[in-house]
Amino acid sequence: MNVKQVNQTKFGKATSSFYVVAVHRATDQEQWVKDLKEKTGVDLVALLKQQLISHEEGKVSLVPTMQETGITRIVTVGLGAKSDWTMSTVRESFAAVGKVALQAKAEEVTICVPALEAFEQEIEEVVNVAVEGIGLGQYVVPHYKATVNEAAYEWSTLGLDGVEDLDVTVGLASAEAVNYARTLVNMPPNILTAREMARQAEKIAEKHGFEIEVLGKEELEEIGAGALLAVNQGSVEPPRLIVMKYHGGGEDWTDVLGLVGKGITFDTGGYTLKPGASMVGMKGDMGGAAAVLGAMDLIGTLRPERNVMAVIASTDNMINGEAIRPDDVITSLSGKTIEIVSTDAEGRLVLADAVTYAKQEGADYLVDVATLTGGVIVALGKDKTGAVTNDEAYFEEFMQAAIEADEFVWRLPLTKNDKKRIRKSLVADLNNAPGRDGHMIFGGGFVGEFVEDTPWVHLDIAGTSDAEGPHVLGPKGATGVMVRTLATFAEQFEPEK
Ligand code: BES
Ligand code: MN
Ligand code: ZN
């Protein structure tokens, strides 16, 4: 996101080559439509009637203006019927606008604010979500092509026609944070290594004044983070455990919300090697870490009155003569021992040490995010994030944030019997792969063994982190899922006293 300037004008005073008006089924009733006709000669009611433009949700049309008005093009976007409206109607419709603005390489995008007043919500909130939508829709996957001469597209001016002093910082920051997470996930694994992940975290920490600590291989050996180290054992790239702290909750480091992310920069499967076709795309196995970093970026702008800690465990999962094997027994940071059944169940191993470290550093509430299992895709498809929890009331609170952010989360059960299977081993406290039946639950449940009684939600984003094709909010590739939910949760969550 490259907005360098936000111009606010009295309604009708804007000049723009990309003037966005939202139209809906009852648009013909509204005063601004008449005013716009007077100013530009464009009669939206007539155009709607002749079906030259559409009020269908997400439909975008470009209407050139013929008068000397300073507005050279009106861009209409349909919002559908008022009875169906939610904030996601705005987000998704304006993401469609963002995509068209990208195609048109529009440098200035101006929103006609009165057209959004049909919404009952606070106008500032509506406009922020619209801005967020445009930003998400304009996302482009960064590439490394040497043969392209085209200059990168930049959206540099945002116009708001019909308001003064409307603050769009949050809408801009939200799109930027999600797009940042997308870019991390889209980055190739030879570039986004664990060391680079730590540099990215340092950049975010510096931007917002967060406290940051990065543990390297030696420090991890000193504290005995044997599970993260085990996954890193076959790699030439050193591991990183990244810990970031935002002190928003006053003097004391209490009621700390811990956000924990899986940061596997590439997952070969290890000796339990993935077949070639399943290995492609495993650069995205740090989607949880990206969601946590993106959320911290947004939290740095929102600055909620809450203490938040981010913990990211990062390494790749590779093979050499020193790599772990199935049948190995390792000792985690918690002291619990683990029988390795599958070296491809590596995410839960690094998360085990990450949640233990988060607890040691004072986390009172936990959410972990991970591209953990193919099982979640089998269970829920590619468009739903799977969840597991140890605390229903806490999960309900979390769901409020997910619903508000409009990111679909569905909870799966974690039963006594599931736990029994995770604890079944002749040689260790736990085994890392109890079976392929319902294995999303085993992945989450394994992490739960290290969480113990701390209220906790586990999010499996293996399906939702990456889109196989273009979708309403963005292009094929990384989605930046859970950034908005995590930041919303940090903002709204009230611990029980
Ligand atoms: N990173 C994968 C999960 C994954 C699969 C992410 C597809 C994105 C898309 C994870 O480390 C993994 O390999 N999980 C195994 C677990 C099994 C060995 C118990 C799986 O899902 O098969
Ligand atoms: Mn794996
Ligand atoms: Zn993995």
Whether residue 19 is found in the same domain as residue 105: yes
Whether residue 322 is found in the same domain as residue 363: yes
Which residue's CA lies nearest to atom 22 of ligand 1?
Answer: 374
Whether residue 441 is found in the same domain as residue 351: yes
Whether residue 196 is found in the same domain as residue 109: no
Which percentage of the chain shows pLDDT scores above 70? Answer: 100
Measured distance CA(496)–CA(28) in Å, rounded:
49
pLDDT for position 26 = 87
The CATH code of the domain that includes 81 is 3.40.220.10
Residue that wins the pLDDT comparison between 307 and 150: 307
Measured distance CA(142)–CA(382) in Å, rounded:
23
Taking the CA of residue 436 as reference, the ligand 1 atom at the shortest distance is: 19
Residue 170 lies in a domain: no
Ligand 1 is surrounded, with C-beta below 6 A, by: 267, 285, 342, 344-347, 371-375, 433, 439, 462
Residue 167 lies in a domain: no
Residue 174 lies in a domain: no
Residue 173 lies in a domain: no
- Residue 344 CA to ligand 1 centre (angstroms): 7
Taking the CA of residue 371 as reference, the ligand 1 atom at the shortest distance is: 6
User: Which residue in 319, 330, 340 sits closest to 431, CA to CA?
Assistant: 340
Residue 48 lies in a domain: yes
Which residue's CA lies nearest to atom 8 of ligand 1?
Answer: 462
Is position 453 annotated in a ligand binding site? no
Q: Choose the final residue of a domain: 128, 162, 196.
A: 162
Whether residue 237 is found in the same domain as residue 288: yes
The CATH code of the domain that includes 468 is 3.40.630.10
| Tens of pLDDT, residues 208-255 | 999 999 999 999 999 999 999 999 999 999 999 999 999 999 889 999
Which residue's CA lies nearest to atom 5 of ligand 1?
Answer: 374
Measured distance CA(14)–CA(10) in Å, rounded:
7
Whether residue 221 is found in the same domain as residue 140: no
Whether residue 150 is found in the same domain as residue 199: no
Which residue's CA lies nearest to atom 14 of ligand 1?
Answer: 373
Is position 346 annotated in a ligand binding site? yes
Whether residue 53 is found in the same domain as residue 113: yes
Whether residue 99 is found in the same domain as residue 195: no
Residue 326 has pLDDT above 70, yes or no: yes
| Tens of pLDDT, residues 72-91 | 999 999 999 988 899 999 99
- Residue 37 CA to ligand 2 centre (angstroms): 59
Taking the CA of residue 433 as reference, the ligand 1 atom at the shortest distance is: 19
pLDDT for position 363 = 98
How sure is the predictor about 439, in pLDDT bands with cuts at 50, 70 and 90? very high
Q: What's the chain look like in SS3?
A: CCCCEEEEECCCCCCECCEEEEECCCHHHCHHHHHHHHHHCCCHHHHHHCCCCCCCCCCEEEEECCCCCCECEEEEEECCCHHHCCHHHHHHHHHHHHHHHHHCCCCEEEEEHHHHCCCCCCHHHHHHHHHHHHHHHCCCCCCCCCCCCCCCCCCCEEEEECCCCCCCHHHHHHHHHHHHHHHHHHCCCCCCCHHHHHHHHHHHHHHHCCEEEEECHHHHHHHCCHHHHHHHCCCCCCCEEEEEEECCCCCCCCCEEEEEEEEEEEECCCCCCCCHHHHCCHHHHHHHHHHHHHHHHHHHHHCCCCCEEEEEEEEEECCCCCCCCCCCEEECCCCCEEECCCCCCCHHHHHHHHHHHHHHCCEEEEEEEECCCCHHHHHHCCCCEEEEECCHHHHHHHHHHHHHHCCCEEECCCCHHHHHHHCCCCCCCEECCCCCCCHHHHHHHHHHHHHCCCCEEEEECCCCCEECCCECCECCEECCCCHHHHHHHHHHCCCCC
Residue 497 has pLDDT above 70, yes or no: no
Residue 151 has pLDDT above 90, yes or no: no
Which residue's CA lies nearest to atom 17 of ligand 1?
Answer: 345
Could you list the residue range(s) of the whole structural domain that residue 439 is in? 179-492
Question: In a mutational test of the pocket of ligand 1, which residue from 278, 314, 344 has the highest number of ligand atoms less than 8 Å from its CB?
Answer: 344
Whether residue 20 is found in the same domain as residue 145: yes
**Which of these is catalytic: 348, 359, 411, 484?**
348
Which residue's CA lies nearest to atom 16 of ligand 1?
Answer: 345
- Residue 267 CA to ligand 3 centre (angstroms): 5
Whether residue 95 is found in the same domain as residue 193: no
Residue 27 lies in a domain: yes
Give the N- to C-terminal CA distance of the chain in Å, as an integer: 40
For the chain, how many structural domains are there in total?
2
The predicted model scores a pTM of 0.98
pLDDT for position 66 = 80
Residue 172 lies in a domain: no
Task: Confirm whether 274 is a catalytic residue.
Answer: yes
Whether residue 114 is found in the same domain as residue 188: no
Q: What is the mean pLDDT of the chain?
A: 96
Residue 317 has pLDDT above 70, yes or no: yes
Task: Confirm whether 325 is a catalytic residue.
Answer: no
| Tens of pLDDT, residues 444-464 | 999 999 999 999 999 999 999
- Residue 350 CA to ligand 2 centre (angstroms): 11
Q: Choose the final residue of a domain: 131, 162, 193.
A: 162
Q: Choose the final residue of a domain: 162, 195, 218.
A: 162
pLDDT for position 71 = 94
- Residue 460 CA to ligand 1 centre (angstroms): 10
Is position 285 annotated in a ligand binding site? yes
**Which of these is catalytic: 25, 274, 382, 421?**
274
Residue 497 lies in a domain: no
Taking the CA of residue 347 as reference, the ligand 1 atom at the shortest distance is: 11
Q: Which residues surround ligand 3, an ion (CB under 5 A)?
A: 264, 267, 285, 347
Taking the CA of residue 439 as reference, the ligand 1 atom at the shortest distance is: 19
- Residue 388 CA to ligand 3 centre (angstroms): 18
